[in-house]
Amino acid sequence: MEFWKASVYGKDYGDMLDLEVSLLKSNGAGARKYKHKSEVAVDTELMKLLHRELTDAERVATHEFFLTLVVCNTVIPISLDDNGSIDYQGESPDEQALVAAAAAYGYTLCERTSGHIVVDVNGEKLRLDVLGLHEFDSVRKRMSVVIRFPNNSVKVLVKGADTSMFSVIAKNTDKADDLARETQKHLTDYSSIGLRTLVIAAKDLSKAELEQWQCRYENASTSLTDRAIKLRQTASIVESELSLVGATAIEDRLQEGVPETIESLRQAGIKVWVLTGDKQETAISIGLACKLLTSDMQMIVINGNSETNCRNLLLDAKAKYGVASTCAKRKNFELKSSADKNDLQPANYKTSSEVPQWESVKEEAEVNGPLALVIDGNSLVYILEKDLESELFDLATFCNVVLCCRVAPLQKAGIVDLIKSRTDDMTLAIGDGANDVSMIQMADVGIGICGQEGRQAVMASDFAMGQFRFLKRLLLVHGHWNYQRIAYLVLYNFYRNAVFVLMLFWYILCSAFSTTSALTDWSSVLYSVIYTSIPTVVVGVLDKDLNHRTLLEYPKLYGAGHRHEAYNLHLFWVTMLDTLWQSLVLFYIPLFTYNESTVDMWSLGSLWTIAVVILVNIHLAMDIQQWVSITQMAVWGSIFISYGCMLLLDSIPVFPNYWTIYHLAASPPYWLTIILITIIALLPRFLVKIVYQRFWPSDIQIAREAEILLERPVSLPKKRGGRST
Ligand SMILES: Nc1ncnc2c1ncn2[C@@H]1O[C@H](COP(=O)(O)OP(=O)(O)OP(=O)(O)O)[C@@H](O)[C@H]1O
Ligand SMILES: [Mg+2]
pLDDT of residue 342: 38
Q: Is 68 in the pocket of ligand 1 (CB under 6 A)?
A: no
Bridge partners, residue 147, by sequence? 130, 155
Q: Is 252 in the pocket of ligand 1 (CB under 6 A)?
A: no
Average pLDDT value for residue range 585-595:
93
pLDDT of residue 5: 53
Q: Helix, strand or coil for residue 233? A: helix
Q: Is 278 in the pocket of ligand 1 (CB under 6 A)?
A: yes
pLDDT at position 30 over 80: no
Among 1-10, 28-37, 665-674, which stretch is predicted with the lowest mean pLDDT?
1-10
Q: What is the pLDDT of residues 209-243, one digit of tens each?
A: 999 999 999 999 999 999 999 999 999 999 999 99
Q: Is 142 in the pocket of ligand 1 (CB under 6 A)?
A: yes
Residue 121 backbone dihedrals phi, psi, to 5 degrees = -105, 105
Identify the CA nearest to 375 among candidates 361, 387, 393, 359: 393
Ligand lying nearest the CA atom of residue 279: 1
Question: What distance in Å separates the CA atoms of residue 469 and residue 526, rounded to the nearest whole number?
Answer: 46
Question: pLDDT higher for 387 or 581?
Answer: 581
Give the residue, by CA position, lying nearest to ligand 1 atom 1.
136
Q: What would the DSSP string read from start to end of 316-358? A: HHHHHHTBPP--SPPPSP---S-GGGGGG----SSSEEEE---
485: enclosing H helix or E strand: helix 480-510
Identify the CA nearest to 53 among candidates 91, 79, 76, 21: 21
Identify the CA nearest to 88 among candidates 33, 36, 145, 159: 36
pLDDT of residue 176: 85
Question: What distance in Å separates the CA atoms of residue 645 and residue 271, rounded to the nearest whole number?
Answer: 52
Q: Is 243 in the pocket of ligand 1 (CB under 6 A)?
A: no
Identify the CA nearest to 357 among candidates 315, 439, 404, 419: 419
Q: Is 457 in the pocket of ligand 1 (CB under 6 A)?
A: no
Q: Are strands 142-148 and 124-134 parallel, antiparallel or unpaired?
A: antiparallel
* Domains detected in the chain: 4-251 (3.40.1110.10), 258-468 (3.40.50.1000), 475-713 (no CATH)
Give the residue, by CA position, lying nearest to ligand 1 atom 6.
160
Bridge partners, residue 372, by sequence? 299, 401
Ligand lying nearest the CA atom of residue 139: 1
CA distance between the termini of the chain: 39
DSSP 362: B
Q: Helix, strand or coil for residue 602? A: helix
Q: Helix, strand or coil for residue 85? A: strand
Among 94-103, 342-351, 356-365, 384-393, which stretch is predicted with the lowest mean pLDDT?
342-351
Residue 203 backbone dihedrals phi, psi, to 5 degrees = -160, 140
DSSP 376: E
Q: Are strands 85-89 and 76-79 parallel, antiparallel or unpaired?
A: antiparallel
Identify the CA nearest to 558 among candidates 247, 268, 241, 337: 268
Q: What percent of the chain has pLDDT over 90?
A: 63
Report which ligand 1 atom has the smallest distance to the Cα of 162. 31
Please report, for the chain, how many H helices and E strands are present, in that order: 28, 19
Q: Is 351 in the pocket of ligand 1 (CB under 6 A)?
A: yes
Q: Kindly report the average pLDDT of the chain as a whole number.
A: 85
Question: pLDDT higher for 50 or 131?
Answer: 131
Distance in Å, CA 156 to ligand 1 centroid: 20
Average pLDDT value for residue range 251-256:
88
